[in-house]
Amino acid sequence: MCNRLLKEVINHTKNIQGKDFERLPYPFWVSEADKRAIIASIKDMIDEAIRGKTYSRNCPEVRWLEDKFAFTEGVSAPVSDSTPGQLSLPLFE
């Protein structure tokens, strides 16, 4: 899904760059605290990767990130105040 969003929606040229990743939306169920924790974790992972560490889909850091993005039951999507009843998702914050 991420690849499709990047290549078909955000940057149709298929020339993906770092700024394109910054434009990916967070799911509405990810809390502000979790967003901050995710950002800090990614920064740490990048620093470690620069020093030579490699990551796989099964490593603990990636599994932790997957858990942070997992859908949480009972969390409702934010609704716009300007148009009652119409769903308004914060796609790009």
Judgement on whether residues 47 and 63 belong to the same structural domain of the protein: yes
pLDDT given for residue 41 in this prediction = 94
DSSP conformational letter for 92: -
d(CA 25, CA 2) in angstroms, rounded, equals: 10
Judgement on whether residues 3 and 19 belong to the same structural domain of the protein: yes
13 in any annotated domain: yes
Judgement on whether residues 63 and 39 belong to the same structural domain of the protein: yes
Q: Domain total for the chain?
A: 2
pLDDT given for residue 20 in this prediction = 74
Judgement on whether residues 67 and 35 belong to the same structural domain of the protein: yes
Buried b / exposed e over 19-47, threshold 16 CB at 10 Å, is ebeeeeebebebeeeeeeebeeeeeebee
Q: What is the pLDDT along the chain (93 residues), one digit of tens a residue?
A: 667 777 777 777 777 777 777 777 778 888 889 989 998 999 999 999 999 999 998 999 999 999 998 887 777 776 655 554 444 555 554
- Range of the structural domain that residue 54 is part of: 31-71
Judgement on whether residues 37 and 61 belong to the same structural domain of the protein: yes
| 5: amino acid identity, one letter | L
Judgement on whether residues 23 and 50 belong to the same structural domain of the protein: no
Q: Which tokens belong to 34?
A: 């979790």
How far from the centroid of its chain's Cα atoms is residue 80's Cα? 22
16 in any annotated domain: yes
pLDDT given for residue 26 in this prediction = 77
Three-class SS state of 79:
strand
Longest dimension (CA), the chain: 51
